[in-house]
Amino acid sequence: MDLTVAGYMKELSEHRIAASRCNDCDALYLPPRPICPNCQTRKMSVERLSGEGTVAGLTSISIVPSAMAAKGYGRKNPYVTGVVALKEGPSLTARIELPDDGGEIQSRVGMPVTASFEAEVDGDETRVTLVFQPS
């Protein structure tokens, strides 16, 4: 794969979470990147991650951006998004689906979650986003 934003998105569209590992210092990066900030090397290998992790921080958004308003989200229908620490080490930002049991948002920190791939067709384009579910 190309170590570009488009390369990562293409992997997602094929239901894979791609990361890059530095061949010199072994650090693992998500999204995959071409230059290691740790040792400046450009020798990177691509690895695929499991999609299993825990919630590091999250929020339920009521005042929504226009793209989410167009999908019917808003004050009466908020959505949840957050930061997930994957078991391999790196973390990523993604939407999270929570059980609707009235728990306080901060009580979900640490919850184990698993990635699913959500395809959205917009004209000729299909965009795949990651959405995490409770494990």
Partner 1 sequence: MPKQKKRKLGRGVAIVGGAMSYFGMYPDKTSRDLMAEAYTDALETVDKGIDPRDIEALYIGNFTADLFEGQGHLGHIMADWLGLAPRPATRVEGACASSGLAFREAVMAVASGMYDVVLAGGVERMTNAPTENVQDYLAAASDVPFEVDQAAFTFPGLYAAMGTAYMARYGTTREHLMHVAVKNHQNGALNPRAQFNSSLRDIMEQRKKRAEEKGRPIPTWGDEFDFLSDDSVNPAVAEPLHLFDCSPVTDGASCIIVAAEEVAREYTDDLVTVAASAQASAGPFTTWGGDITGIPSARIAGRDAYEMAGVGPEDIDFAEVHDCFTTAEIMAIEDLGFFEPGKGAFGSAEGLTSRDSDRPINVSGGLKSKGHPVGATGVAQLQEVWTQLRGRAGDRQITHKDLRLGLTHNVGGTGGTSAIHILERK
Residues in contact with partner 1 by CB under 8 A are: 5, 9, 30-31, 37, 56-69, 75, 78-79, 81-83, 85, 89-95, 104-110, 127, 129-130
- Between CA 101 and CA 43 the distance in angstroms is 47
| Look-up of token digits 């230059």 | 35
Question: Smaller CB distance to partner 1: residue 24 or 118?
Answer: 118
Side chain identity, residue 40: Q
CA gyration radius, the chain: 16
Instruction: Write down the least CB distance from residue 126 to partner 1, Å.
Output: 14
Instruction: Write down the least CB distance from residue 2 to partner 1, Å.
Output: 14
Give one DSSP letter per residue of 101-134, joined into a string: S---GGGGTT-EEEEEEEEEEETTEEEEEEEEEE
Instruction: Write down the least CB distance from residue 23 to partner 1, Å.
Output: 19
